[in-house]
Chains A and B, each alone.
Chain A
Amino acid sequence: MPDQFLYAVEVIINGLMAGVLYALVALGFVLIFKASGIFNYAQGVMALFAAMTLVGIQKGQIPFAKLINTVMGTELEHFPWTVPVIPAIILAFGVMILFAIIVEKYILKHLVNQPEIILFMATIGLAYFMEGFGDIMWGPEIKKLDVGLPQGGSFWIEDMTIGLGGENFYGFFIDKLDMVATVVAILLVAALTIFSQYSKQGRALRAVADDHQAALSVGISLRFIWVLVWSIAGFVALVAGIMWGAKSGVQFSLSLIALKALPVLMLGGFTSIPGAIVGGLIIGVGEKLFEFSIGPLVGGATENWFAYVLALIFLVFRPQGLFGEKIIERV
């Protein structure tokens, strides 16, 4: 097989795995949008916040230590313990549930029946609030996230594939972390699908996503469902935060992955879970392949804008996205 072809295959595989991560973030958006019609601008910051919280809990950091020290004149920093990975993840999820309850109680509840743009603005406010709140709670410095995920390329795959090409082919370079992320994302999507199709709350969630009035009439509490869906979105954010955080550290730029999710949503439609996944994969593969083939001709760095251009072209032909419901204007 020609090496050039093999390298393209490698690029596609890596693109698929990057796409899985985009899909993960997009999934959080879709969940909330479906259930409450809110485009949650804060989804990216939620991932950042969740990751910061996880690191803080693991290290036994005292929340708001700086603030307390300044006010009280103390010199607090750490609890005399550290927390193992699994309990720390569970605790961080607990914090995200608490966050969901607070969002429902202090924001959503007061904004029901407001125009969508108002709700959207509220989530912008929420994003900036959370960003600052996270810094105050856990400190603004860049944090290293270590939950024991493997790093670096997989030698095993390199060894297995090296024979495929010629002299200059060194085997596929596949990041181990990407592989883990892919497995985790697949498990997460499977779990979410089973939950929404077969559980009582899942059925209620789909009902709320479809029609609020009808949902109320069959005894579903909208407020409970909103807390539930923001909790799930919080969990998805936590998972995304862990994967991206393990890759490139927990820092502000992590919240910008939300911007990567946007073209994914344009492609996949805002209301479709399969759409988010397929959209993520298309963008992931598309941007890697484009960079690989056209990138060198135009001076590289195409990954910054390729996704948006692709999404825009797509919007012209299929504004509702791949799987989104067809928009029919009622007149």
Chain B
Amino acid sequence: MNVMSPDSYVTADGRTIGGTLMEMKNITLRFGGVVAIKDISFDIREGEIRAIIGPNGAGKSSMLNVISGFYVPSDGDVWFDGAIRPKMRPYQVARQGIARTFQNIALFEGMSVLDNIMTGRLTKMKSNMLSQAIWWGKAQKEETEHREKVENIIDFLEIQTIRKTPVGNLPYGLKKRVELARALAAEPRLLLLDEPMAGMNVEEKEDMSRFILDVNDEFGTTIALIEHDMGVVMDLSDRVVVMDYGRKIGDGTPDEVRNDQKVIDAYLGVSHD
């Protein structure tokens, strides 16, 4: 478990929330004239489920992209694990232990489910080419260990039956689940989920909610997720950041933001799909 920091606490359902894992300080992101994120600060604490909500185009995905290094903020600092993060490329961020899924699903369509999830282990694989060629046996042993971890995740997410299926042939809901599996395979410290339930039916949404809660509970993984469905957000998250037009208009527990007048206004008359 994590070292208990002075301000850690235990939630009503018995999970320990630790100190700050990630902190965004005065982040601004511009695309030419468009300001996608305007001077936003918030933190993510170790072990919590942090939601980012807001109407379409509010800048939620942009924020997730900043955290995962896909976008470089025009202004502001990103702090991770107590240190300021220098400008990093997405693959370097991934190697720091931040895994993610995408709003529009980015899987390796030509590979099987198993192979897709195995790529999630790449950051954990040690053997380089030369040693693999020389120490064939050792490399095989490592491969087996990774396979075991991956099989555990497959069992955990209940996708045993599609292990060998090419991902391109899967229905949307299952693709989302495989993408989650790949992210989990990296055993991330921070897991970023961009609308993990978008486009799913009720049953699939319930499954996904359960998986997210279980991941957080069983592995202690810190999770930041974007979600449109207010009900889902209220059920899942410990704290919520609310964005609108690139600004932060609310931040607190689900109950606090639900009763915040600014948040209510932002959502009034706005279609959330």
Which of under 10, 10 to 19, 20 to 34, or 35 or more describes the interface residues of B? 20 to 34
Q: Indicate if the CB atoms of B108 and A216 lie closer than 8 Å.
A: no
Q: Indicate if the CB atoms of A213 and B106 lie closer than 8 Å.
A: yes
Q: Indicate if the CB atoms of B102 and A213 lie closer than 8 Å.
A: yes
A210's partner among B108, B132, B143, B182 (CB-CB below 8 A) is: B108
Q: Interface 1/0s, chain B 98-128, versus A by CB < 8 A?
A: 0110100011111100010011101101011
Q: Indicate if the CB atoms of B70 and A219 lie closer than 8 Å.
A: no
Cα A22 to Cα B143 in complex, Å, equals 35
Q: Indicate if the CB atoms of A218 and B107 lie closer than 8 Å.
A: no
* Among A213, A215, A217, residue most surrounded by chain B Cβ atoms (within 10 Å): A217
The residues of A that contact B99 with a CB separation of less than 8 Å are 217-218
- A contact residues, total (Cβ < 8 Å): 23
The residues of A that contact B89 with a CB separation of less than 8 Å are 216, 221
The residues of A that contact B128 with a CB separation of less than 8 Å are 200-201
The residues of A that contact B92 with a CB separation of less than 8 Å are 219
Q: How far is the CB of B2 from chain A (nearest CB, A)?
A: 23
Q: How far is the CB of A112 from chain B (nearest CB, A)?
A: 12
B126-149 with Cβ < 8 A to chain A = 127-129, 132, 139, 143
The residues of A that contact B132 with a CB separation of less than 8 Å are 199-200
B109's partner among A210, A218, A221 (CB-CB below 8 A) is: A210
Cα A175 to Cα B111 in complex, Å, equals 41
Q: How far is the CB of A199 from chain B (nearest CB, A)?
A: 5
Chain A, interface SS category:
helix
The reply on B94 being an interface residue by CB < 8 A is yes
Q: Indicate if the CB atoms of B122 and A218 lie closer than 8 Å.
A: yes
Q: Indicate if the CB atoms of B111 and A217 lie closer than 8 Å.
A: no
Q: How far is the CB of B133 from chain A (nearest CB, A)?
A: 8
Q: Interface 1/0s, chain A 28-63, versus B by CB < 8 A?
A: 000000000000000000000000000000000000
Cα A218 to Cα B119 in complex, Å, equals 7
Cα A217 to Cα B194 in complex, Å, equals 13
Q: Interface 1/0s, chain B 194-208, versus A by CB < 8 A?
A: 000000000000000
The reply on B76 being an interface residue by CB < 8 A is no
Q: Which residue of B lies closest to A202 (CB)?
A: B129
* Among B90, B100, B107, B115, residue most surrounded by chain A Cβ atoms (within 10 Å): B90
Q: Which residue of B lies closest to A213 (CB)?
A: B106
The reply on B91 being an interface residue by CB < 8 A is yes
Q: Indicate if the CB atoms of A219 and B91 lie closer than 8 Å.
A: yes
The residues of A that contact B221 with a CB separation of less than 8 Å are none
Q: How far is the CB of B215 from chain A (nearest CB, A)?
A: 17
A218's partner among B110, B123, B127, B129 (CB-CB below 8 A) is: B123
Contact of A220 with B102 at beta-carbon distance under 8 Å, contacts A200-B132, A206-B108, A214-B107 already known: no
Cα A152 to Cα B92 in complex, Å, equals 54
Q: How far is the CB of A196 from chain B (nearest CB, A)?
A: 12
Q: Which residue of B lies closest to A200 (CB)?
A: B125
Q: Indicate if the CB atoms of B127 and A200 lie closer than 8 Å.
A: yes
Interface contacts beyond A207-B111, A217-B68, A217-B102: sample of 16 additional A-B pairs, CB < 8 Å, sorted by A: A200-B122, A201-B128, A201-B129, A203-B115, A203-B122, A204-B119, A214-B108, A216-B94, A217-B99, A217-B183, A219-B91, A219-B94, A219-B186, A220-B91, A220-B119, A325-B110
Binding site for B on A (CB under 8 A): 195, 198-201, 203-204, 206-207, 209-211, 213-222, 325
